[in-house]
A and B are shown apart, each in its own frame.
Chain A
């Protein structure tokens, strides 16, 4: 069964600090992996997307990495800001032969404190 596991479930950090969120997936065959940011009371918004051939991708202070061999991804946030407080969701997409279906992780809830 395709699964996406995220850790930690929740995290509290001080403003200005860095943090790393983890995502392990078992989706196979694999097409791509996307990280979403979901602010409280809002729908998820895409941060990055990576295919199996990409190791790292940045979007401002957000840097995602992907290891297709170990089926692991991480999202690193640099110099955190209060506005980074949100849930971060890892989503893996199966290939066309697997129906292009998405498998969502349970999310990591990040709180940045002043």
Chain B
């Protein structure tokens, strides 16, 4: 079974704090993605990566950065958390070798006070 794990299920941070969300996949997938999910808006792509040390902006990258130092790990960074970044964050991975399905992690519910 493909397994995508995220470092925290729930996280509470204060405005201005630097926040790290970690995602690890165990299927040797080339592609990894970070989404945020808000009620009524669906999933929106923040950043994605096709390979180690490679990153591409998604639809809503402002206020976020990412890091992919190893193939299995993709980190989302909030340099200075703001209340409008309170959301559910979902990580996903997909094989680059003709793979189609994205496999999602359980999500991290982040609250910024």
Contact = CB atoms under 8 A, between A and B. Distances in A.
B98 to A, nearest CB: 11
Which of B9, B44, B101 gathers the greatest number of chain A CB atoms within 10 Å? B101
A89 interface: yes
Given A32-B100, A43-B90, A49-B100, A102 B107 contact: no
Nearest to B4: A43
Q: Interface size class for chain A? A: 10 to 19
Q: Interface size class for chain B? A: 10 to 19
Which of B42, B44, B90, B105 gathers the greatest number of chain A CB atoms within 10 Å? B42
Contact of A89 (B40, B42, B92): B42
Contacts of B9: 41
Interface string A21-33: 0000000000010
Interface of A: 4, 9, 32, 34, 41-46, 49, 89, 93, 101-102, 104-107
